[in-house]
Chains A and B, each alone.
Chain A
Amino acid sequence: MKLKKLTLAILTGTTLLAGTSVANAAEVEVLHYWTAGGEAKSVAELKKMMEAKGVAWKDFAVAGGAGENAMTALKARVIAGSAPTAALIKGPSIQEWGNEGVLANIDAAAAEGKWEASLPPMLTNIMKYKGHYVAAPVNVHRVNWLWVNPEVLKKSGAKVPTNFAEFFDAADKIKKAGYVAIAHGGQPWQDATVFESVALGIGGAEFYKKAIVQLDQATLTGPTMIKTFDTLAKIKTYIDKDAAGRDWNLATAMVINGKAGMQFMGDWAKGEFTAAGKQPGKDFLCVAAPGTEKSFTFNVDSLTMFAVKGADAQKAQLTLATAVMSPEFQEVFNLNKGSIPARSGVSRAKFDSCALKSMDDMDASSKAGSFVPSFAHGMAIDSAKAGAIQDVIAKFMNSNMTSQAAVQALAKAAKTK
């Protein structure tokens, strides 16, 4: 008798717990790791927009580890059968989650908002799983930037480089003048960021796509890839020896403070410059990484939608997707975050010169077929392969591995299942 009561109590308890995700219908729960400065402000904006539409916002922020901690939390929730409405997941990971069969179809919101017409085709492919929209893009980061301190270049008598010959010429002059030529942080993802910009600059967009996106074995071991590693080895000689383990923003600070001349980094570096009170075009320059003027490596954040129960919850989810893609949100979010809107038709008035250049280059490269996914930021290939390739690059950057050995290791890493 007692046992029965106990079982009943436990059962009711569990149903109550499980029931919470269904109970509040007009509510969206969003898992994200936007907890720092400008990003947090952007999230507050989205919350306001949702509440204006009568949908409650339940914040599920898990900070730290560039989203690693958030993904661990997400897995636990999905296994427990109570997935949040949406989670910040990007690139090929969307397909990995799609394979688990837990994503929601948001074609209705896409059709209503005419997403097909307002997004570059490269992006719509990423947002779809088996032909159906499952995610809404929030922003586009450009990764192949070179950040330059014009003051240091002037003092060393160097010019802003547009290709690698000019780049090494400038680097020599900066080094001779007593500055650090290339500010860099020796962390695997930063090594990978430099690598992909170099590969794109040396081989062009077609080579990049064949080698890094399609992982074609012949291209990976070919002469262009060897030249890429040779260039990378040369870049290594212009980095100061204390770079190991340095965070990217400390490397950016070296450029800001005039200790270093140039840095390869995505457009999030701009936030560091503007926070230090520097003006784009005057105190710092944003130029495409050498030889990549006509190409664009993108890193796109997106809110991926998980299957939720109940008609109200599904409606709230579509409202969220529509709000995320609205020009108003895309404008205010990207002004805060330093990236550019993913969709077209957003007012350009408030964006700075670096962002405007990024927008123009995105349009041009999208038409020319040189709008390519960033491998270093998990946009090109799945995390297992990307991780294995990143290990090879990190090893190359931190040892005296030859370019020949590096391409062989790269080809082996590309076969990771």
Chain B
Amino acid sequence: MSVTSPSETHIPAIQKKASAPGRMQAFADIWLPRLVLSPTVFASLLFVYGFIAFTAYLSFTDSRLMPNYELTGFGQYQALFELDRWWVSAANLGIFGGLFILFCLIVGLLLAVFLDQKIRMEGALRAIYLYPMALSFIVTGVAWKWILNPGLGLEKMVHEWGFPNFSMDWLVDSDMAIYTVVIAGLWQSSGFVMALFLAGLRGVDDAIIKAAMVDGASLPTIYRRIVIPALRPVFFSVLLVLSHIAIKSFDLVMALTAGGPGTSSDVPAIFMYQFSFTRGQLGLGAASAMMMLMTVLAVLVPLIYLESKEAKHGH
């Protein structure tokens, strides 16, 4: 559309003469993008929103092994809220999500600020910090499982160095296992957060910083008062990405602790998988999936709202 519109206004004579191909052209311009996009739109309508609706429907039925379409009300939600295991996994999501996002932000921002000091070998360091992102969460989980296993990894190594009182047994401790997931997740994702912040830092106008320097502001003050506030949109994107990584986390926990010891490091995604697919309680699993969706919405909707308000404000 936008490409042809100037020609239409500027040279109407030619357009009139060549009316048949011109109309074809205009027709194609209107319909071609829609035609090209339509498979994607249909696919996401069906496979994302269609299945969300299907899951929502199932959560109101008494489905066991297979879907059952008879509506029975809120029974599954009631059963879900009575289950201790659900609350364990919800609490774990809170612990993991909160700490993971917080530490990723801190570590990522610090790394980015340090890398931004025009140091030597910056490219190599950047690649090293970003590299964990290239691994799948399964690899990260298995590697940290070995590192944190007291009889195999860190604890054994330090014991052999001659510190027999050293103890790092979080992985096999019911109360601490969820924190090992935070460690592994942090290791994996902080480099990515660093890369986002670094890109943001590079986008901050040098002139403002120089002006502040002329005014005699110290480097920490410049970062605190000018640079970091300028990174506000980056914070939004990072929060957006990290919070949904946290809520849907399944593979990392599966590989690292498998929800154990016992069910102490269970998270909602594992809960949903087990109840829907291995215990023949599809309805209950669907209810837990809907609760996860609600959590995602509860986090993302305010974020997106704030960000769009910010964007309008900026313009």
- Give A residues with C-beta under 8 Å from B: 65, 68, 71-72, 75, 78-79, 93, 96-97, 100, 186-188, 191, 240-245, 382-384, 386-387, 391, 394-395, 397-399, 409, 417
Nearest chain A CB to B88's CB is how many angstroms away?
A: 9
CB-CB nearest in chain A for B277:
A72
Nearest chain A CB to B75's CB is how many angstroms away?
A: 9
Contact residues in B for A245 (Cβ distance below 8 Å) = 145, 171-172, 257-258, 260-261
Is there a chain A Cβ closer than 8 Å to B151's Cβ?
Answer: yes
Is there a chain A Cβ closer than 8 Å to B15's Cβ?
Answer: no
Provide the B107-129 mask, 1 if CB < 8 A to any CB of A, else 0: 00000000000000000000000
Contact residues in A for B257 (Cβ distance below 8 Å) = 244-245
Provide the B275-302 mask, 1 if CB < 8 A to any CB of A, else 0: 1011111000000000000000000000
Nearest chain B CB to A260's CB is how many angstroms away?
A: 12
Contact residues in B for A382 (Cβ distance below 8 Å) = 280
Contact residues in B for A75 (Cβ distance below 8 Å) = 65-66
- Give B residues with C-beta under 8 Å from A: 64-67, 79, 84-85, 145, 149-152, 169, 171-172, 174, 177, 257-258, 260-264, 274-275, 277-281
For this complex, 11 residue pairs linking A to B, each with C-beta atoms less than 8 Å apart, are A68-B278, A79-B67, A93-B280, A100-B66, A187-B260, A242-B149, A244-B172, A245-B145, A245-B258, A391-B262, A417-B79
Contact of B263 with A394 in the complex, beta carbons under 8 Å: yes
- How far apart are the CA atoms of A242 and B264 in the complex, in Å? 16
Contact residues in A for B279 (Cβ distance below 8 Å) = 383-384, 386-387
Contact of B172 with A387 in the complex, beta carbons under 8 Å: no
- How far apart are the CA atoms of A417 and B150 in the complex, in Å? 39
CB-CB nearest in chain B for A191:
B262
CB contact under 8 A between A71 and B261, given known A78-B66, A97-B65, A241-B169: no
Max chain B C-beta neighbours (<10 A), residue from A188, A244, A409: A244
CB-CB nearest in chain A for B68:
A100
Contact of A395 with B263 in the complex, beta carbons under 8 Å: yes
CB-CB nearest in chain B for A240:
B151
- How far apart are the CA atoms of A78 and B273 in the complex, in Å? 20
Q: Across chains A and B, which 4 residue pairs bring their CB atoms closest together, nearest first?
A: A398-B262, A242-B151, A244-B172, A394-B262
Nearest chain A CB to B233's CB is how many angstroms away?
A: 41
- How far apart are the CA atoms of A97 and B66 in the complex, in Å? 9
Contact residues in B for A71 (Cβ distance below 8 Å) = 277-278
Contact residues in A for B169 (Cβ distance below 8 Å) = 241
Kindly identify which residue among A398, A409, A417 contacts B264, using a CB–CB cutoff of 8 Å: A398
Nearest chain B CB to A182's CB is how many angstroms away?
A: 15
Contact residues in A for B260 (Cβ distance below 8 Å) = 186-188, 244-245, 394, 398
- How far apart are the CA atoms of A188 and B258 in the complex, in Å? 10
Contact residues in A for B262 (Cβ distance below 8 Å) = 186, 188, 191, 391, 394-395, 397-399
Contact of B258 with A187 in the complex, beta carbons under 8 Å: yes
- How far apart are the CA atoms of A97 and B278 in the complex, in Å? 14
Nearest chain A CB to B276's CB is how many angstroms away?
A: 9
- How far apart are the CA atoms of A75 and B277 in the complex, in Å? 10
CB-CB nearest in chain B for A67:
B278
Kindly identify which residue among B84, B177, B277 contacts A68, using a CB–CB cutoff of 8 Å: B277
CB-CB nearest in chain B for A72:
B277
- How far apart are the CA atoms of A187 and B294 in the complex, in Å? 31
Nearest chain A CB to B282's CB is how many angstroms away?
A: 9
CB-CB nearest in chain B for A409:
B84
Contact residues in B for A395 (Cβ distance below 8 Å) = 262-264
CB-CB nearest in chain A for B149:
A242
Max chain A C-beta neighbours (<10 A), residue from B85, B145, B260, B262: B262
CB-CB nearest in chain B for A75:
B66
CB contact under 8 A between A79 and B261, given known A244-B172, A382-B280: no
Nearest chain A CB to B288's CB is how many angstroms away?
A: 14
CB contact under 8 A between A96 and B64, given known A382-B280, A398-B262: yes
- How far apart are the CA atoms of A383 and B275 in the complex, in Å? 9
CB contact under 8 A between A383 and B66, given known A242-B149, A399-B264: no
Max chain B C-beta neighbours (<10 A), residue from A96, A241, A383: A383
Nearest chain B CB to A149's CB is how many angstroms away?
A: 19
- How far apart are the CA atoms of A78 and B66 in the complex, in Å? 9
Contact residues in B for A93 (Cβ distance below 8 Å) = 280
Contact residues in B for A240 (Cβ distance below 8 Å) = 151
Contact residues in B for A399 (Cβ distance below 8 Å) = 174, 262, 264
Nearest chain A CB to B151's CB is how many angstroms away?
A: 4
Contact residues in A for B65 (Cβ distance below 8 Å) = 75, 96-97, 100
Contact residues in B for A96 (Cβ distance below 8 Å) = 64-65, 280
Contact of A243 with B172 in the complex, beta carbons under 8 Å: yes
Nearest chain A CB to B194's CB is how many angstroms away?
A: 31
- How far apart are the CA atoms of A100 and B278 in the complex, in Å? 17
Beyond the given A242-B151, A244-B177, A394-B262, could you list 8 further A-B residue pairs with CB under 8 A, ordered by the A residue number?
A: A75-B65, A188-B260, A241-B172, A244-B171, A244-B172, A383-B279, A391-B263, A395-B263
Contact residues in B for A391 (Cβ distance below 8 Å) = 85, 262-263
- How far apart are the CA atoms of A133 and B149 in the complex, in Å? 48
- How far apart are the CA atoms of A391 and B266 in the complex, in Å? 11
Kindly identify which residue among A383, A397, A398 contacts B280, using a CB–CB cutoff of 8 Å: A383
CB-CB nearest in chain A for B256:
A245
CB-CB nearest in chain B for A417:
B79
- How far apart are the CA atoms of A244 and B278 in the complex, in Å? 22
- How far apart are the CA atoms of A93 and B65 in the complex, in Å? 9
Contact of B174 with A398 in the complex, beta carbons under 8 Å: yes
Contact residues in A for B150 (Cβ distance below 8 Å) = 241-242
- How far apart are the CA atoms of A18 and B16 in the complex, in Å? 54
Nearest chain B CB to A403's CB is how many angstroms away?
A: 16
Nearest chain B CB to A100's CB is how many angstroms away?
A: 6
- How far apart are the CA atoms of A123 and B260 in the complex, in Å? 34
Contact residues in A for B149 (Cβ distance below 8 Å) = 242
